[in-house]
Structure 1
């Protein structure tokens, strides 16, 4: 893995939704619609947010939502063409931003050009999680491994820095172990993140030769503990997270293209800051899902079109965003800035030092560096029985910075570190 990933903070964008693309593929022979260029208008916004790269959802030719790919070597005409990708990569690189693409290699559309590569399930083809139009590839076939390797090589050669491997949990890790070594020899700095929902994360990374997997356990515990007033769930997840940090650096998040937005999950909007304080003060490679930094709301529903609300179109430029979202954007800026000033946090080990249902203190360390995070979600002020000697407030919910630490006000939070931080 390229060491650059130790400093990565991703702005995660679903391009088909972001650019307002039609829900279905254009008629055959249609001219490309250069919507991908709209993303160029938002690169400075991502830089100012504090991010160091774009993690893009599907951009390849597909029939509908991008996960029913028909050709991994062709940009979806609803988004543009190869020249638009080259423009975006060049514009991103000029700003110091890297780009990661979404590789959907577990399943494809039934219109994919190689039906001989489909995995059979009796008399019919195997499908992905009951979706009849998403046909599973037969990963045991050498031709499939060769194809995936060629796709990865092709776009890495065009300037992208890595891949999010969609639905990796549905692919045996040994498939990646066959594909990735050759790709890494040709692109030694490439970064590979697998989408894994549950199970033995560390084993999957080790067996597959990936750099990381998505940390869904921590995601769920963050919003759920705040929603239910139960920090014991988060404490358990942080213990599990710390164990994972012993073998790899998880990809962390509080929102993505597949889940209800954080602002819609929480019953108390004041606790959105608590979620961000956790995300940016524990180990991992964090991402921010577009719109979350503006406190967008959206509920995922289990129906056709049920993802539309969480994959909205963005306006032409930032000046058209609603004024009510900018305080949350500035909160993201502050905490991402704190994270970037303490880049050691990417590999930090974390220990919970104090715990009640609605109050938690945890300390993240690496060598001589440390950060103490205090969270209070109760209606009363809370005094934490923790050692804060030598620490100062790096950020907090108290705008004047004069909270009488280690006491936090109701629904307060604070991040403490040493003077040099």
Structure 2
């Protein structure tokens, strides 16, 4: 079947997470986890589902951007797209007029990610496989043919990418079997949002420890003395042998980041995440160099615009942990490029997740990374946030603090229609009730 795409619909879906301070950090004090939710219809009845993540206001702008690129998708067949996926990616990102809005960054790139996520979901469904398995079963040259290497060949050539994937064929089946049995290691951010009380933090840590969690992240950056107190409390709760990370969500200038994190070094964090502007590559490099003697790495990437910026972060030794995002970058295509570059530079990938649907999506990418690219679990883990999974038809499955590989066909993007309708902004029942209070 050709699976001709006959229509694209996009809706603004928001969840009022700010009411209970879920997701709160030093820069985003009242986020309402939201998505621009895309559905592709085809002439054979098969649908593709995709999304991109936001934190409330402005989702309507992303919806407009999705509608602006819809004409590049509708009318094409799935076969036509995937037979030249690199060309299709470039069609969306390099439209002669719309690329001016980016290029390959900002709202237009978020919109393209939502559309491409839906295309990948459609392809995986057409093949009857979960997205990670679709990727794992691909020939190395087919995987590479999905990637746009423009602007990154000084760091990774197409030939090098093929070589990496061919080399990783050895032991691939064994690693796949290991994932199916044990799952991919995860860490939790759910215990220590900045707006949570000490009492709630303690309770959530206690519950998490009982459930087998050993890796925890705490939000920092609003007040140094309060950070010391909360990190001390967190370290007391989880003990000296479990892993602690800290996340400033871009709060500091470079010198301030170095000083602030040095003051928190006694709590032995594995990394500080987003210590400064996500665009400041040289600033991250300076922070990385200064914190290295303390044994603290720098992690960033959830708001890194594109593969070109990741290339420079890696070239400048500006990060020790790469945090890919399934919706910030241009979907699977661009994430494949970053996974391969990270492997060449020998920097572990620890994806950003949480939000709405980010855990559902990024689990596929990190499974592929382990099975077909890195072949290693050393210093690697995938973020997990225990919010809003109940709104998906194929929610993540966590067992003993590990992501268990999804089994349903697709990219795990499909939301329950009842959830979409009730949380559609502003006319859904949930928002009508809030606004009438």
Question: Normalized against structure 2, the TM-score is what?
Answer: 0.41
Higher strand share: 1
Higher helix share: 2
Question: Normalized against structure 1, the TM-score is what?
Answer: 0.42
Q: Which has the higher contact order (CA 8 A, sep 6+)?
A: 2
